[in-house]
Amino acid sequence: MSNPQTKTEPLPAPDLGTPWLRLETEGPLAWLRFNRPEARNAMTWAMYDGLLRACDWVDGQESIRVLLLQGAGERAFVAGTDITQFQEFRGREDVLAYERRIEGVLSRLEGVRRPTIALIRGYAVGAGAAIAVACDLRLCAPDAQFGIPIARTLGNCLSLANYARLVHLLGPARTKELLFTARRVGADEARQAGLASEIIPADELEARGRELALTIAGNAPLTLEVTKEAVRRLLTQGELPPADDLVLRCYLSRDFQEGVQSFLEKRPPQWQGR
C-alpha cells in the first residue's frame, strides 16, 4: 500500500442532499465544509441529514484516514441550528423528536471511526459548538468564539448527552458557568480550558489542519480507531468498561504483524487498516 501522504486520484464524494454541505477528498483526507456563509452556516434539517450521510460514507472508505470539518467564509464555523425551523414545532413530540434527531447526528459524528478535526473561524455557537465538541480535535483561529447562549436567547436546553460532552471536556463548574451566563468564550480562553487544541493564524488554519491530518493519516489506522473507541467507552460506560475486543482488534491485525516486522527490519511500516 502506498504512503497515505502520496497524492492519489480523489474518490468520488457522495451526494449529501443539499448544496449547503460539500464533501471533497484529498488523498487520505476528507473535507466536509458547511457551505451556507450567508447564514453563518446555520444548520438546516437537510444539512443535519447530509452530515449523517458524510459520516457513513467516510466510515465506508478504507483509504480515508481523517475527516476535517470547516465552515465556509470567515464569519462562522456553524452558528447553530436555523431558528426559523423551530416555528414548525407544535407540541411535545416535535420537541422530543428534535432533540433525538440532533443527538443522533452528534453521536454519529462522535462515533466516526476516523479521527475528526474541526477548523474553526468565527462563531461556533449553539449546535455549532456541539458539533465542534463532538470532534476529536479543534484547531482555532484567533477570532474563534464558542458559546451556547440558550439561557439568553431561546430558553431551551440541551440533551443530557450534550451536557455530558461539555462536562467531560470542561468540567462541571465551567460548564455551568458557561451556560448560566450565556457568554461566549474566545480562542485564548478556549485553549486554556481544553476546548481548543491549538490557536493558528487565520490565514494558516487550513494549511495547519492539513498538516496535522496528514501526520495522523500516516499512523496505524487500527490504533487510531481503537483509541477513539476506548476513550468513548471510558467517558460513557464507566471507569473500566470491557475492552478485550479492542485489544484483539489491534493485536490480531495484519497491521500489528507489519509493525513488528517493519520495526525488526528497520523500515517504515506500510499500514493497511486491517
Q: Please report, for the chain, how many H helices and E strands are present, in that order.
A: 10, 10
In degrees and rounded to multiples of 5, residue 63 shows phi and psi of -80, -15
| Contacts of 55-58 spanning 24+ positions with Cβ under 8 A | 55/108, 55/109, 55/111, 55/112, 56/108, 57/13, 57/14, 57/23, 58/30, 58/112, 58/114
Q: Would you tell me how many other CB atoms lie within 10 Å of the CB of residue 27?
A: 23
Per-residue confidence band for 167, with pLDDT thresholds at 50, 70 and 90: very high
All 3 cell numbers of residue 147?
A: 458559546
| Top-confidence residue, 96 or 231 | 231
List the single range of 2-16, 46-60, 86-100, 209-223 with lowest mean pLDDT: 2-16
Amino acid symbol at 163:
Y
Q: What is the mean pLDDT of the chain?
A: 90
**Measuring CA to CA, how many Å separate 19 from each of 23, 85, 115, 135, 182?**
10, 18, 25, 23, 32
137 - beta bridge partners? 117
Indicate the range of 51-65, 123-137, 140-154, 236-250 predicted with least confidence: 236-250
Instruction: Quote the DSSP letter at residue 244.
Output: H
Quick one: cell of 245? Answer: 475486543
Secondary structure of 109-140 in HEC code, one letter for each residue:
HHCCCCCEEEEECCEEECHHHHHHHHCCEEEE
CA distance 151 to 39: 22
216 pLDDT exceeds 90? yes
245, burial (CB in 10 Å: exposed 0-12, middle 13-18, buried 19+): exposed
Query: Does the domain spanning 21-217 belong to CATH 3.90.226.10?
Result: yes
Q: What is the mean pLDDT of residues 129-148?
A: 97
Q: Burial-class residue 76 by CB neighbours within 10 Å (0-12, 13-18, 19+).
A: buried
Binning pLDDT at 50, 70 and 90, where does residue 182 land? very high
Residues 110-119: pLDDT tens digits? 999 999 999 9
Q: How confident is the model over 192-212, as pLDDT tens digits?
A: 999 999 999 999 999 999 999
Going edge to edge, which strands form the sheet with 21-26? 21-26, 29-34, 66-71, 116-120, 137-140, 198-199
What's the pLDDT at 239? 67
Amino acid type, 172: P
